[in-house]
Chains A and B, each alone.
Chain A
Amino acid sequence: MHRFLLAVLRRDLTLAARRRGDWMIAQFFFVMVASLFPLGVGPEPDMLARIGPGVLWVAATLASLLSLSRLFADDHQDGSLEHMVLSPEPTVLLVLGKSIAHWLIYGIPVLLIAPVLGIQFNLSWDAILVLELSLLLGTPILSLLGGVGAALTLGLRGGGVLLTLLILPLYVPALIFGAGAVDGVMTGTGAEAHLSLLGAFMVLSLMISPWIAAAALRVSLE
């Protein structure tokens, strides 16, 4: 069972390594969106520190959507998705493997870039640490829930836009608790409550979303 999971992971990571441009686009987008805000709202340090957590979280959310539309689409196009679904292992594991691969390809770079952008927004080191923690708990949610959206919109025309409309509302709790945690540490109310809720939401999506995505995938392939 875990061998299958590892096989899916290795496959997706190898493919990502062959097409670096594809996933770097999402990271450039993340940096771009986050960098446009200081230019737009002006350079006052206090103001930037106040909007910083929210802006970084929204930018991370949008960047995840950019890469999610291709999660199953490429494999669907060349037929390898059917082959994977027809493997003896359950489809749930396939979806889980692909979501984890997506997180490794998209989430880890976001975690690495975010502190630098945090400095740009004049966040304190405490706030940057909590931002990292919230992204560590939150970006897997984006990849897992995004898998459901990618499976539902597979093979539809304009699937990318539909995916955005479908999944962004589901991202709202992650966004609220994620940005709220950083706000909490900056205003002195503490971040534990937000981070705990974010963690709970992550565990919940880990348990539920692969099943929904697998069912959606079977419907989309029919």
Chain B
Amino acid sequence: MPDALLSVHDLACARGERLLFKDMNFSLAAGELLLVQGGNGQGKTSLLRLLTGLARPEAGEVRWRGEAIRDVNERYHEEMCYLGHANGVKDDLDPLENLRFADGLHGRAFDAARAVATLRRLGLSRCLDLPCRVLSFGQRRRVALAALLLAGSTLWILDEPLTGLDVHAVALMEGLIRDHLQAGGMVVATTHQALNLEGVKVQRLLVGSVAIPELV
């Protein structure tokens, strides 16, 4: 597939002695969603960490725009944003400060008005000047999602993005993913929840051997 931006070639992953998966191949083009599925402990998170470059594969490689991510690390990280189990939100800072430092670390100019608008859109208008310590788990997750939106990356790698979110936020998230894909972005996500994603090109990838019932 010539227009695939992200591609994986004969990827193998091991945790300690145990081989989680091997000979994994897939490719993802602009506007596509890859839904990684599999039971607990089957290697979903490990796969996502391989895709981000945080972990090194046992064999095979991950390529971005045709080049191994190991070689184009810095360019790849400019276009990729990862949201893991932990939010990466500092408890001592308020949501706006968190976003400002996230922008600073990624070399982007901070646009306060846009950040406030994003936080409001995610339903955090009443928490703007509170330290994140006093926010609930779901609210902190929303702050992390705001950082994801402001990053403006092409590729989103989301590990259980819906954990801790209420029904409104889940609906909002579905909308955000759809918008992102329609704008030519790409998403790799794991989730155990059903997602309503009409009109979206979804690829499914089953990690591990345990089959799970259809979700979407």
* Same complex: yes
Please state if A18 and B93 are interface contacts (CB–CB under 8 Å).
yes
A87 in contact with B91 (CB, 8 Å): no
Docked-complex contact A80 and B93, CB < 8 angstroms: no
B52 interface residue (CB < 8 Å to A): yes
Per the bound structure, the CA–CA distance linking A7 and B90 in Å amounts to 15
Residues of A within 8 A of B92 (CB): 15, 18-19
Q: Is the CB of B105 within 8 A of A79?
A: no
Residues of A near B75 (CB, < 8 A) are: 88
Instruction: Report yes or no: A10 in contact with B104, Cβ–Cβ below 8 A.
Output: yes
Q: Which residues of chain A have C-beta atoms less than 8 A from B49's C-beta? A: 222
Q: Which of B78-95 touch A at CB < 8 Å?
A: 78, 80, 82, 84-93
Q: For the complex formed, measure the closest distance between the CB of A70 and the CB atoms of chain B, giving whole angstroms.
A: 13
Is the CB of A204 closer than 8 A to any CB of chain B? Answer: no
Q: Which of A3, A14, A18, A79 contacts B86 (CB 8 A)?
A: A79
Contact across chains for B86 and A77 when beta carbons are under 8 A apart: yes
Residue of B nearest to A15 (CB): B92
Question: Is chain B's interface secondary structure helix, strand, loop, or mixed overall?
Answer: loop
Interface window among B53-61, B171-179, B201-209: B53-61
- Give the complex CA separation of A89 and B104 in angstroms: 11
B29 contacts the other chain (Cβ, under 8 Å)? no
**Are B87 and A86 in contact (CB-based, < 8 A)?**
no
8 Å CB interface, A17-44 against B = 18-19
Which of A7, A10, A79, A86 contacts B77, CB < 8 Å?
A86
A7 to B85, CA, bound (A): 24
Interchain CA distance A82-B88 in the complex, whole Å: 8
Interface membership of A90, Cβ < 8 A = yes
Interface magnitude class on chain B: 20 to 34
Please encode chain B, from 55 to 79, with 1 for each CB lying within 8 Å of some chain A CB and 0 for all others.
Answer: 1100000000000000000110110
| Chain B residues in 8 Å Cβ range of A117 | none
B122 to chain A, nearest CB (A): 18
A85 proximal to B (CB < 8 A): yes
- The answer to whether A82 and B77 touch across the interface, beta carbons within 8 angstroms, is no
* List of B residues within 8 angstroms of A11 by Cβ: 101, 104-105
CB of B74 within 8 A of CB of A89, answer yes
Q: Determine the residue in chain B with the shortest Cβ distance to A76.
A: B86
8 Å CB contact of B74 from A7, A82, A88: A88
Complex Cα gap A207–B102 (Å): 27
Residues of B within 8 Å of A87, CB to CB, are 77, 105-107
Find residues 62-114 in chain A having any chain B CB closer than 8 Å to their own CB. Answer: 77-80, 82-90
**Interface check B160, CB cutoff 8 A:** no
CB <8 Å contact, B77 and A80: no
Decide yes or no: A86 and B74 within 8 Å by CB, A15-B90, A80-B90 being known contacts: no
A-B contact pairs, 21 of them (CB 8 A): A7-B104, A11-B101, A15-B90, A18-B93, A18-B131, A78-B86, A78-B87, A78-B88, A78-B89, A79-B88, A80-B88, A80-B89, A80-B90, A82-B86, A82-B88, A83-B82, A83-B102, A86-B53, A86-B82, A87-B107, A222-B49
Give B contacts to A, CB under 8 Å.
Answer: 49, 52-56, 74-75, 77-78, 80, 82, 84-93, 97, 101-102, 104-107, 131
Pairs A-B, 4 closest by C-beta atoms = A79-B86, A7-B104, A79-B88, A18-B92
